[in-house]
Chain A
């Protein structure tokens, strides 16, 4: 009898240990790709990155071919992508951040209204829409309707539609963590409504709002699919928003499709990933600091 019991316990303990190791192994497998990707990009992309990588526009395929044949690094850089990305992200932010902020405050102030919960669900649906569909929408609205051709503006619109729901939801979520008393204290002092928003709601939830904005920026910076349908890409630096424009992810796509440019893909990807990941980490470190509100 005792023997059987002991056997039973030993077997259960063994299965327990085995399961634990299975979980640990599974977790290691899960995070392995991030190491593989980072190492791979650094090894193959780092030597291409220098000052001219950021100041020169992308090379043509012939330059790349001769350089590769001579064993040199490919001349040129991603300046046209950088300016394009910068312009589109700026316009997208200028459109999405104020609108998203105000909508989020509206939802927070009217929590229980049926209209507000409808808008909230719309924001959730919009956040789940595949980015390529936003590309189609911006193509029909802007490329065909407004600028009569591929344009940076169309890309910005697609990106801003992507940003909007993220900002709306993060605004509402952070603001609902503000203690009601702070708001009421402001009103008790006879502060006008808009001042309460600018002096109480926004400062109190500032770090949360910053997290939301940074997170949405890190989402749209790497987006390629909607830009293929809207901004198209361009070999030159262009500041005209009604003209086609490049972007860093679009350049990666162009490099990828040109067998001579493979080395450029690694370095452009490395740059894009470091940039996006540091935005990501920055937003996380901000959100970690705000525990009291």
Chain B
């Protein structure tokens, strides 16, 4: 802004540079618009055929001649696995962030733990899936709750490990921002550390912590490979935590290659719904974070 008052914009070279910068920002705009347009137009045949019922039907029958598609089974699968992953993730991420930003704040131990948690974010999704397949799945089988070890719970467990770093990094940052004066005031009244955490730290950091978990949920919703390898890929509404199901992302990954015509359109429509859900969840998280900061 400052340099504009110096009338530099009148120089031709500067105008060229500025228009180059501006046009590169158009790429993002066109890309986003193009993506929404492409998904929406690809989904039209499915919505024209099944109407709004596409969202509320759990049918998935690719038999030629009597094709019938609905997305409810996958929407349920996605929401179930993500929410369960979130529930498993909360105590893990919460204790890790208290460890980093409260109990051992500023120590070497805290930075080691933080790096270890960050490393979890660097493991590729397919490696998680593979590891889960060979180590978690046999454990689940041993409990006797599931014959094959595939299912909603197995997928959620691996998802929880995958989203822990995202929840931890944000909420530990927020917990470390809680004002020292308030904590010291509570200590001077004779409160123990646990009491300070529950009566001062958590109440004042609550909205930020909630936002960090919502953003972690947004991550879980779109995870594909690890879930695909562990959920069992049954195109039905799961009837229990240990029964197989399918998520929106994994049905796309499984069937896109062999799909055409109406089935392709149904998969794109599922993609569109997934896009809408993740965008909504992320937006909610971002709004809460912005209000907090």
Contact = CB atoms under 8 A, between A and B. Distances in A.
Given A119-B25, A133-B274, A276 B2 contact: no
Nearest to A256: B130
Interface stretch (B48-56, B140-148, B200-208, B220-228): B220-228
Contacts of B96: 26-27, 30-31
- Chain B interface bracket (under 10, 10 to 19, 20 to 34, 35 or more): 35 or more
Interface string B113-131: 1011111111111111011
A153 interface: no
Contacts of A122: 28-29, 32
B223 to A, nearest CB: 8
A128 B24 contact: no
B124 A221 contact: yes
Contacts of A33: 120, 161
Contact of A31 (B27, B116, B256): B116
A31 B120 contact: yes
Given A23-B95, A141-B38, A280-B122, A229 B256 contact: yes
B42 interface: yes
Contacts of B39: 133, 136-137
A115 B29 CA distance: 10
Given A33-B120, A136-B256, A20 B103 contact: yes
Nearest to B133: A256
A26 B95 contact: yes
Nearest to B99: A27
A169 B155 CA distance: 31
Contact of A229 (B38, B92, B257, B279): B257
A194 B252 contact: no
Given A103-B24, A187-B3, A193-B14, A130 B122 contact: no
Interface string A214-254: 00001001111100110010000000000000000100110
Tell me what chain A mostly uses at the interface: helix, strand, loop, or mixed: helix
Interface stretch (B15-23, B58-66, B176-184, B232-240): B15-23
Tell me what chain B mostly uses at the interface: helix, strand, loop, or mixed: helix
B98 interface: yes
A161 interface: yes
B195 interface: yes
A64 interface: no
Interface string B80-95: 0000000000011111
B293 interface: no
Nearest to A226: B224
Given A103-B28, A229-B256, A125 B282 contact: yes
A46 interface: no
Interface stretch (A9-17, A47-55, A71-79, A86-94): A9-17
A223 B222 CA distance: 13
Contact of B11 (A23, A115, A192): A192
A132 B39 CA distance: 12
A4 interface: no
Given A103-B28, A129-B275, A253-B225, 15 more contacts: A15-B194, A24-B99, A26-B94, A30-B93, A30-B168, A31-B120, A124-B286, A136-B271, A141-B34, A168-B28, A183-B3, A187-B2, A192-B11, A272-B127, A277-B119
Q: Which 5 A-B pairs have the closest CB atoms?
A: A130-B222, A222-B124, A26-B95, A102-B24, A225-B224
19 contacts: A20-B193, A30-B93, A34-B119, A37-B127, A40-B131, A40-B134, A40-B135, A103-B28, A130-B278, A132-B224, A141-B38, A168-B28, A193-B11, A222-B127, A224-B126, A228-B256, A256-B229, A276-B123, A277-B122
Interface of A: 12-13, 15-16, 19-20, 22-27, 29-31, 33-34, 36-37, 40-41, 98-99, 102-103, 105-107, 109, 112, 115-116, 119, 122-126, 128-133, 135-137, 139-141, 161, 164-165, 168, 180, 183-184, 187, 192-194, 197, 218, 221-225, 228-229, 232, 249, 252-253, 256, 265, 269, 272-273, 276-277, 279-280, 284
